[in-house]
Amino acid sequence: MVKDNIIPNHMNIYWHDYTGHVKDKPITEASLPVKAALIGRVGLMLLSCGTGAWRVRSSMNALSEQLGVTCTASIGLMTIVYTCFDGNKTFTNSLALNNTGVNTSKLNQLERFVKKFPQEGVLMSGEQLHSKLDEIEKIRGLYTPLQLGLAAAVACAAFTFLLGGGPIEMLCAFIGAGAGNHLRCHLIKRHFTLYLCIISSVALACLSYTVSLRLLETFFSIPGSHEAGYICAMLYIIPGFPFITSGIDLAKLDMRSGLERLAYAVIIVVTATITGWVMSTALNLHPADFADLNIPPALHLILRLAASFAGVFGFSIMFNSPVPIASAAALIGAVANTLRLELVELAALPAAVAAFLGALTAGLLASFLMKRLGYPRISVTVPSIVIMVPGLYLYRAVYNMGEMSLALSANWLVSALLIIMMLPLGLICARIITDRSFRHCT
């Protein structure tokens, strides 16, 4: 199908051509190709939501067991190659996405589909099941680009405070991040390429921050010492989901998926940070430490809890989480991130160790809540620790590299890498403690 004179590079799959076209015969009595098509489609849809290979394979296995077939799958960031065995028959298929992203609302519905399959799905025909999957696949964005821009604005303003910024930096970051993510959402809806979306939105975020700051300086005589916050205006672009899921996949020896996700995250970070550095050079901006806010410890603790809640809630909305899931993630993130910050400040723990303990806390709290609320674990755990990803460190590493201050760049980069490695480790340890099936490699 040609749209706007652009021929798609990935052809559409017409799944209803592989249902057997029988509406009164349950899927359990269908042929192997019909069963395999259903298994593959569910796996591909789960992969499109941003979840890791272990979860995709577990769901495909759950369907396979109910359908009486054996399934083996090799899963990457955007592709699945799988084989289904049924007696002396085999069926091998290769499926690919045309793009990747995060959609926790769709993920929630797909996990419910898999969970209910033993009671409901086995009684339905292939045609009926694919019609049900059609409805789930129609779940796009729950929010408009304007709402997602506002979510990014709130998240980055909260991020700014947590990094040490004051009201001026928070206001300018709010404007910059809101404008940048609003543009990015429009570009994504029009299926523009990854690099164009990143470069355009980050450039607009930095420009909007600078213009806002200059207007405040002109009309309100604000001193020009608030430039450091422009880094915070672009932190909505940090790929927390692929960073964290890559670590989880590597822990389960899903090397292909883990390395591909890591490469994808690195592409985003490198493109965004280089764009930020170029913009800072063009706008004559220089990153510096934030001025001390001199807030009493008790009040600072309360403000950190509030800012962490707002930041995680904003990021969850950006991941297309319904408000209940976003609220649950925000509650967990408020506790875990505030604990991390307090451990660094009061106990003088290294930032990487505090990040591990914060992620471990988030994972344990998520396991506790998941049993009561029924949300997919990953839709709560990952957003709750995305706010811990050291985007500021990564930017400063690239900025100093561009300035040829290589020793300083290395310090920032190593600090960032240590924290990034500790975040999935914390979630993995929490999963090992609370999930018996995850702690085994069978």
Q: How many residues does the chain have?
A: 442
Q: What is the pLDDT of residues 133-175, one digit of tens each?
A: 999 988 777 889 999 999 999 999 998 998 888 888 899 999 9
Q: Measuring CA to CA, which residue among 39, 12, 66, 67 is closest to residue 130?
A: 39
Q: Within a domain: residue 9?
A: no
Range of the domain at 97: 15-137
pLDDT digits (tens, 9 = 90+) for 278-287: 988 888 877 6
Domain assignment of residue 10, yes or no: no
Q: Tokens in use for 140?
A: 């796009």
How far apart (Å, rounded) are the C-alpha atoms in residues 163 and 103?
27
Residue 130 scores a pLDDT above 80: yes
The pLDDT, as a whole number, for residue 80 is: 94
Whether this prediction's pTM lies above 0.85 is answered by: yes
180 and 200 assigned to the same domain: yes
Please say whether the dihedral angle defined by the alpha carbons of residues 239, 243, 244 and 246, taken in this order, is positive or negative: positive
Q: Where are the alpha helices (DSSP H) in 221-254?
A: 240-251
Domain termination residue (choose one: 137, 164, 185) = 137
User: At residue 88, does pLDDT exceed 90?
Assistant: no
- pLDDT at site 2: 46
Residue 336 domain flag: yes
In this structure, the answer to whether residues 79 and 151 fall within a common structural domain is no
Answer yes or no: is 442 within a domain. no
Is the same domain home to 370 and 273? yes
Lowest mean pLDDT among 13-17, 118-122, 149-153, 259-263: 13-17
Looking at the 3D structure of the chain, how many domains does it have?
A: 2
Residue range 326-378, pLDDT digits in tens: 898 899 999 999 999 899 888 888 989 999 999 999 989 888 877 676 667 77
* pLDDT of amino acid 334: 92
Residues 230 and 293 in one domain: yes
Please check whether residue 439 lies inside any domain of the structure. Answer: no
Asked whether residue 314 is domain-assigned, the answer is: yes
Asked if residue 229 and residue 198 are part of one domain, the reply reads: yes
In this structure, are residues 302 and 350 in contact, taking their beta carbons and an 8 Å threshold?
Answer: no
Tens digits of residue pLDDT in 237-251: 888 888 888 888 888
180 and 240 housed in the same domain: yes
Final residue of a domain: which of 85, 102, 137?
137
131/59 same-domain check: yes
∠159-162-167 over CA atoms, to 5°? 80
Is residue 99 included in any domain, yes or no? yes
Check residue 229 and report its DSSP letter: G
The reported pLDDT for the residue numbered 395 is: 83
Which pLDDT score is estimated for 4?
Answer: 56
| pLDDT value for 1 | 44
Over pLDDT 90: what percentage of the chain?
35
Distance CA 326, CA 318 (A): 10
Which of 227, 232, 201, 202 lies closest to 213, judged by CA? 227
3-state DSSP assignment of residue 122: helix
Instruction: Say if residue 337 is in the same domain as residue 406.
Output: yes
Q: Are residues 123 and 180 in the same domain?
A: no
Residue whose token pair is 């822990």? 251
Average pLDDT over residues 20-24: 71
Helix (H) or strand (E) holding 340, with range, is helix 323-346
Whether residue 93 is found in the same domain as residue 156: no
Domain presence at residue 54 = yes
Domain finish residue from 97, 112, 137: 137
